[in-house]
Chains A and B, each alone.
Chain A
Amino acid sequence: MRKRFPEFLSNLISKTRIISGKKTATLRIRLSGDYFFKVITAAVAFNVFIILGFMVYKIIEKSALSLQTYGLGFLLGTTWQPFPPDPSRSPVFGALPVIWGTLVTSAIALLLGVPISLGIGLALSEFAPKRFTYAVSFLVELLAAIPSVIYGLWGIFILIPFLQNSVYPFLQATLGFLPMFQGTIRGPSVLTGGIVLAIMIIPTVSAISRDVFAAVPNNQREAIVALGATRWERAKVVVSYGRSGVMGAIILGLGRAVGETMAITMVIGNQFNMFTSLFDPGYTMASIIANEFTEASSPPVYISALMEIGLVLLVFAIVINVLARLIIWRSLKIVRGAEMT
């Protein structure tokens, strides 16, 4: 791509020469079809840079006030009080509890969702009969297409009563010695949020890991089978061969979990809280924005503080995605390198 661009530009210049020069007939032929298509698609593709750049610029601009007022304290503070009871005091914004909530729910999502997703990926690429593969692939992709508000509703009306009445009491009875399973059991809680997120990241992680496993060269499988390996051993080889690709898949899943808004808002309990128990209600960055942005018209620093949470979220998202890209590229290179030799 880097090489083609100047060539494409010089093309444009030579075309203009023709226009100012002589024949209109050649001009029509040379400018029609492919060339125009190329220009249009390039212009459309370039929009991505403009949109992203504009978004980053706007978010930084809007959060400038909060950045100046609270500095680093914004990330470390644990109080969120846009309207202090004493009106003469200025508002206080500290985002640590929402960052904490986002990290913990995402971690739970990965912990529960990744093993299931890898299982799906392995089954689809290694063991399952073709017809079954189509059916499961279809269903997994269907999961990705369900709007997140549906996950939220399902979480409230089906998952929460079930977890609250059966699973959580059992967890507390067996693992109650751990601080994270102590305290009063609440249906809408950090753990519920994490479980819903786990289900939501399964399509992403399993689809990518299936592709990663499918890209493992067959000679690897043949070699290990020839050595008399069992299916389990074969699976181990496939996974370890594609491990960096799997890492990439996991990180993309993490990206999805971090940014999820609607479903998590409906099941996490929306409480600004430095929780220690997973049964406590919590809050995430995305859901505090969704909850409070609509009516945050004054004071100006309030909107700015919400924007700064958006900025933190954006930084999270960019870091996660760049990391995932790097890892996936590396893994594909390794795989391709192996194919050549």
Chain B
Amino acid sequence: MDNVYRVFYFHVEEKVKKMNYKTIAIMEAIILIAVIAGFAVYTMYFTKQSVKLSGAGATFPAPLIQKWSQVFNDLTGVQVNYEGIGSGGGVKQHTEKTVDFGATDPPMKDEEFTAAPGTLHIPVTIGGVVVIYNLPGISVKLNFTGEIVADIFRRNITRWNDIRIRVQNPNAALPDAGIIVCHRSDSSGTTKVFTSFLSDENTVWKNNYGAANVISWPQDSLGGKGNPGVATLVSQNQYSIGYVELSYALSNNIPYGKIKNAAGIFIEPKVESLATAAAAVSLTLPAGDQSWASVGSYFNLHTVANPGESYPITSFSYIIVYKELNVISGMTLEKAKALTWFLWWITHDGQHYALGLSYVSLPEAVVAHNEATLRMITFNGQQVNNWT
């Protein structure tokens, strides 16, 4: 082993020996002082007086929240640092009060909600899971029902020309080829949303696989890490099927299928049909300071009065904050105002930035619901801001 390193460092050593050690020491000292001085100047002049807010949580809305924080900083000088560490981490940090706000894709479960009393749920954007596939020569969007998708993913339907798929797609020339199932290998909220939908649509699925961030998939399926991992698997394997987040499919032009909703219509996943779903459930949403566990990890349209043109695998992504902000250490009135202002801004003007990043902006009804929630925020018992 030693020889390897000896060969490697031989030349370096030679050079160092030729230089004067004193010169090296002086150079290092100068560089060190310059760096320290530069840093001091930087902290004095560039971060002067700015209010800093910290948030952490779900990775799905992270690009959007980071865009918001950048624009909001330009507008107001308030700095918002958001770390995408996953929904579980977001809830945990919110409960431990180590961040000013948390973010999570599924609403907090009842036991999580009781562990963090006084939590407000603020839906900030909408996500949807789409079924993607790789079928050479087929250009029409395939029609799926939840029942069929579950049968495909549990390997009960193993060929594309299975009668159950053909009945729903009379116009598509489905090939006589085996289906390759691709899924997320990492622990993911997208899997949770997708499998929750499958569980509600197919009892065999529910009893054998269930709904969770990680499930035990049928043995001959393929797992990829993250949305890009699944999308790559699908694009590289002909006759494969998988699922990804809609915003990922949209920004990467991946073909996806339509899914039948509770009204019996095959709905193409797109910005409009997701917003319609959110508007359809907005009537049933709990008040901001209540537990949102009943909303579930996706909107179950079977419980909605008039689903219409709603896409059936749609969900909110939430920011969670405390109703009384003084529970967070280091919170000041100034910070509380900035935070409430930020939340108000992202649910109103900030929504315009959603579409550009392939996110879905909130429908009017949900924005109105959020307004009521944001008015509940207090600091030391006083309402932080009173908007009209």
A-to-B contact residues, CB < 8 Å: 79-87, 137, 141, 156, 160-161, 164, 184, 186-188, 207-208, 211, 214-215, 265-266, 269-273, 280-281, 283, 287, 290-298, 328
Report which B residues bind A (CB closer than 8 A): 1-4, 7-8, 85-89, 91-92, 178, 180, 185-189, 199, 206-217, 219-225, 229, 232-233, 236-237
B residues less than 8 Å from A287 (CB atoms) = 185
Bound complex: CA A265 to CA B210 (Å):
25
CA A295 – CA B91 in complex, angstroms?
11
- Cα–Cα, bound, A281→B213 (Å): 20
The winner among B4, B199, B206 for most chain A CB atoms within 10 A is B4
B185 near A291 with CB under 8 A, answer yes
Of A81, A273, A290, A297, which is within 8 A of B219 by CB?
Answer: A273
B61 to chain A, nearest CB (A): 15
Least CB distance, A128 to chain B, in whole angstroms: 15
Shortest A270–chain B CB gap in Å is 3
Of listed A84, A86, A188, A207, residue having the most chain B CB within 10 A: A188
10 contacts between A and B (CB under 8 A): A83-B210, A83-B212, A83-B214, A83-B215, A85-B206, A85-B211, A86-B210, A184-B220, A292-B187, A298-B88
A interface: dominant SS: loop
* Interface pair A297/B232, CB less than 8 Å apart: no
Cβ B220 vs Cβ A270 within 8 A? no
**Complex contact A207–B187 (CB within 8 A):** no
The reply to whether B92 and A297 contact each other, CB–CB distance below 8 Å, is yes
Among A83, A137, A287, chain B packs the most CB atoms within 10 A around the CB of A83
Q: How far is the CB of A327 from chain B (nearest CB, A)?
A: 13
Instruction: Please measure, in the bound complex, the distance between the C-alpha atom of A134 and the C-alpha atom of B86, giving whole angstroms.
Output: 47
- B207 and A271 within 8 A (CB): no
Q: Is the beta-carbon distance between A211 and B4 smaller than 8 angstroms?
A: yes
Q: Which 3 A-B pairs have the closest CB atoms?
A: A85-B210, A270-B223, A83-B212
Contacts of A81 in B (CB 8 A): 215-216
Q: How many angstroms from the CA of A265 to the CA of B226 in the assembled complex?
A: 11
A295 to B84, CA, bound (A): 12
A188 CB contact (under 8 Å) in B7, B92, B222: B222
Q: Which residues of A contact B85 (CB under 8 A)?
A: 294
CA A184 to CA B4, docked complex, whole Å: 44
**Chain A residues, CB < 8 A from B207:** 85-86
Chain A nearest CB from B37 CB (Å) reads: 28
A85–B208 contact, CB under 8 A? yes
A179 → chain B closest CB, angstroms: 16
Q: B229, A266: Cβ atoms under 8 Å?
A: yes
Let me know if A270 and B1 touch, CB within 8 A.
Answer: no
Of B88, B199, B211, the residue contacting A295 (CB under 8 A) is: B88
